Amino acid sequence: MGIPRGTYDILPNEVTTWHYLEKTAREICARYAYEEVRTPIFEETSLYERGVGETTDIVEKEMYTFLDRKKRSLTLRPEGTAGVVRSFVENKMYGESLPVKLYYFGPMFRYERPQAGRYRQFHQFGVEVFGSDDPALDAEVISLGLAFYRSLGISGVQVGINNVGTPEIRAKYFEKLIEYFAPFEAELDQDAKSRLYRNPMRILDSKVKRTQEIAEGAPSILDSLDKASMENFERVQSYLQELQVPFQVNDRLVRGLDYYTQTAFEFMIEELGAQAGVIGGGGRYNGLVQELGGPEVSGIGFGIGLERVILALKEQNVAIPSTKPMDCFLVTMGEQAQHASVRLLGELRGAGLKAERDYLDRKMKAQFKAANRYKARYVAVLGDEELASGKIQVKQMETGEQKSIAMDQLVSYLLEGK
RNA sequence: GCGGUCGUGGUGAAGCGGUUAACACACCGGAUUGUGGCUCCGGCACUCGAGGGUUCGAAUCCCUUCGAUCGCCCCA
């Protein structure tokens, strides 16, 4: 027996990092007036087929799909947006005052081969905004993402933005691309060939040298945009400038999900390499709410891969705030003292102090060692003498200073020392 | 789904055909039977991911399998 492939345990010493990420995300979202939403970890399979797109890699080969006991097809969520949109529609949030600004945090599942910064169960922090086309929101969402990285202490995050137009524009652009690539068909690599008629935009970011050379001359989607899209794109850029968000226009930026319209963006960090370097991405999805049965309400959001954020934190040696030190370790000598320690320990904890004792009947020396391991600020020694006198020995570990204190004064003494 | 590398104690690792499986750290115990962080001493792998084979003999060679890791596709 072992842990399933592509999954991993987050052990206590790592959990502090996760708390740090969550806390930071929550604080920033609160500042930007986003509220948390928690949706199920699995949904009906059809939600993703319709929402994410039938021809995407995610739906074609990466979903964890299973039948329940009533033979309903369910799928462990491969991404966050579809579920949040479903919830938005189902709970008729479009009836509330718009825009509705939401964020989420949690595990996602994709059946892929594990690799650096890629797991089968991984975690995302994401936001979604519904009900406004205002390009200022596009800029807000991007700057919120960037604020998250910065607030964590990650530097060098690059923002790439593009405008992928409307589905109609993309259809026309596809024709142009096919027209351009067709004469080179024989020179393209296998992957590019298979994409030529299905999704030629994907050829643009190929890593195969010859394909890349050919792709360099391909027409840009920006030249195919209609006036409204172009204006929208320009306004997003000017708002980003207002917010002092550095960005690069990348007309080759393609996202993996079908639902994106207009603005598409990515957060990247160079040190982590080509794959893990994309630490977040998102865009606008103006047709999705309708596609999933809601009214014509537009949306925009991003998903940030937290495993990759953690890679970046480690790469850049960002210090994680450590856990609370132990206020007091109770050393006990003898059975009487062990009994008495139960109550004393309860009192310490009841007073809000972090306190611990030995449970393995260890020798005093070993108990002191344990206290050190816990980084205890004080050690209180309780033995027969103390029980008889009602006074307990309290040692401040850093200075080695030791005092005798009335047992009922211990709590207030420790609270003073904080 | 495809390709490379790897798999020895709690951890980091040596050993690469010859039989008690180095060493370091961690942990436990003792020196110091009521006091930590230093020092010294002792303990801690019937076993080298699993299964099969070659051999007088395998952790060391071969095959299979599982897993990890890195890369490709794709993505966070």
Q: Which nucleotides of B are covered by protein (CB under 7 A)?
A: 1-3, 27-30, 32-37, 66-76
What ipTM score was computed for the predicted complex, to two decimals? 0.84
Burial A397-417 (b: 16+ CB within 10 A, else e): beeeeeeebebeebbebbeee
In a domain, A42, yes or no: yes
From A121-125, A132-136, A258-262, A367-371, the region with the lowest mean pLDDT:
A258-262
Cβ of A303 near strand B (distance < 7 A): yes
In a domain, A196, yes or no: no
Report which of residues 205-224 in chain A place their beta carbon less than 7 angstroms from any atom of strand B: 205-208
Q: What is the pLDDT of residue A395?
A: 95
Q: Name the most confidently modeled range: A29-33, A251-255, A270-274, A308-312.
A: A29-33
- pLDDT tier, A276 (very low <50, low <70, confident <90, very high otherwise): low
Which nt sits closest to A254, CA to C1'? B75
Residue whose C-alpha is closest to residue A110's, from A325, A292, A256, A290 = A256
From A60-74, A119-133, A206-220, A364-378, the region with the lowest mean pLDDT:
A206-220
| Dist. CA A127–CA A301, nearest whole Å | 5
In a domain, A368, yes or no: yes
| Dist. CA A361–CA A27, nearest whole Å | 44
- By C-alpha to C1' distance, B28 is nearest to A366
- Mark which of A269, A292, A315 sits at the end of a domain: A315
What 3-state DSSP class applies to A66? Answer: strand
**In this structure, are residues A193 and A178 in contact, taking their beta carbons and an 8 Å threshold?**
no
Same domain, A287 and A389: no
| Dist. CA A19–CA A134, nearest whole Å | 33
Same domain, A332 and A400: yes
Q: Which helix (H) or strand (E) holds A280?
A: strand A278-284
Q: How far is CA A274 from CA A69, A205, A206, A410, in A?
A: 42, 11, 12, 57
Same domain, A400 and A275: no
Same domain, A161 and A56: yes
- Mark which of A291, A315, A339 sits at the end of a domain: A315
Residue A393 identity (one-letter amino acid): Q
Distance in angstroms between the alpha carbons of the first and the last residue of chain A: 46
| Dist. CA A256–CA A254, nearest whole Å | 7
Same domain, A111 and A242: yes
| Dist. CA A177–CA A228, nearest whole Å | 22
Residue A260 tokens read as: 């994106």
Q: What is the pLDDT of residue A256?
A: 65
**In this structure, are residues A239 and A136 in contact, taking their beta carbons and an 8 Å threshold?**
yes
Report which of residues 130-189 in chain A place their beta carbon less than 7 angstroms from any atom of strand B: none
| Dist. CA A172–CA A191, nearest whole Å | 22
Phi, then psi, of A360 in degrees rounded to 5: -115, 15
In a domain, A409, yes or no: yes
Q: Which residue has the higher pLDDT, A322 or A353?
A: A353
Cβ of A393 near strand B (distance < 7 A): yes
Which nt sits closest to A199, CA to C1'? B74
Same domain, A362 and A302: no
Same domain, A388 and A275: no
Cβ of A390 near strand B (distance < 7 A): no
Same domain, A38 and A126: yes
Cβ of A258 near strand B (distance < 7 A): no
In a domain, A230, yes or no: yes
Same domain, A16 and A74: yes
pLDDT value at A283 more than 70: yes
- Mark which of A262, A284, A315 sits at the end of a domain: A315
Cβ of A373 near strand B (distance < 7 A): yes
Same domain, A285 and A150: yes
Which nt sits closest to A202, CA to C1'? B74
> How many structural domains comprise chain A?
2
In a domain, A246, yes or no: yes
Cβ of A199 near strand B (distance < 7 A): no
Cβ of A79 near strand B (distance < 7 A): yes
What 3-state DSSP class applies to A303? Answer: strand
Which range marks the domain in which residue A43 is found?
12-165+225-315
In a domain, A170, yes or no: no
Which nt sits closest to A108, CA to C1'? B76
In a domain, A18, yes or no: yes
A376: CATH: 3.40.50.800
**In this structure, are residues A72 and A102 in contact, taking their beta carbons and an 8 Å threshold?**
no
A16: CATH: 3.30.930.10
Please state, rounded to an integer, the average pLDDT across all residues of chain A.
Answer: 90
pLDDT value at A376 more than 90: yes
- By C-alpha to C1' distance, B67 is nearest to A5
Residue A255 identity (one-letter amino acid): R
pLDDT value at A356 more than 80: yes
